Amino acid sequence: MKICIVASAGGHLSQLLKIADCWRGHEIFCITTSELVVSELQRYGKVYTVPECNRRHPVEVAKVFADCVKTILCERPQVVISTGAAVGCIECILGYVTGAKIVWIDSIANVNALSLSGRIIRYIADVFIVQWPELAEKYRKTRFARIAV
């Protein structure tokens, strides 16, 4: 299957790469937010980068969104796997509307509540993993499994 793995550079990506075993044997392409990590990701497949963006900069978000639309239409993944943040959220939504299955792992940084992205993606995710047992109790249809730390 063709799988898109997507995460912002930094903590989100470090967490995602901890579970690299799960996509072994599939065709992979990656989307991230910094050139600094491209070489690390190339071992899995083709790498796309988009600028960093967050909820404070809606114009940037719109630009990234346009980039992501292009990538998803060009690649047409069957599954999107992400740990966030904004770019992961955007890619999951686009994946969903183009028929891909969505696997979301909410970052361990979200200790007391799901991330904003997580709260959105929960409605469209096929697999939704949280990393604190309290969160699995708090939110329906989530499963607890630690990937980081």
Partner 1 sequence: MIFLTVGTQFPFERLIKAMDEAVALRGVGEEIFAQIGDSAYLPRNFEFAPRLKKHIFDKRIRQASSLIGHAGIGTIITALDNNKPLLVMPRRKKYHEVVNDHQVAVAKKFEKRGYILAVYAEPELPGKIAQLRTFVPWQCSIRPQKAVEIIRQYLNQLVDCSGKR
How many residues form the binding site for partner 1 (CB under 8 A)? 46
Q: Binding pattern to partner 1, positions 88-127, x when CB under 8 A?
A: -------------x-x-x-xxxxxx-------------xx
For partner 1, the closer of residues 15 and 71 by Cβ is 15
DSSP string, the chain: -EEEEEE-TTHHHHHHHHTGGGGTTSEEEEEES-GGGHHHHTTTEEEEE-----TT-HHHHHHHHHHHHHHHHHH--SEEEEEESHHHHHHHHHHHHTT-EEEEE--TT-SSS--HHHHHHTTT-SEEEESSHHHHHHSTT-EE-----
Q: Binding pattern to partner 1, positions 57-76, x when CB under 8 A?
A: --------------------
Q: Binding pattern to partner 1, positions 3-42, x when CB under 8 A?
A: x----xxxxxxxx--xx-xxx--x-------x-xx-xx--
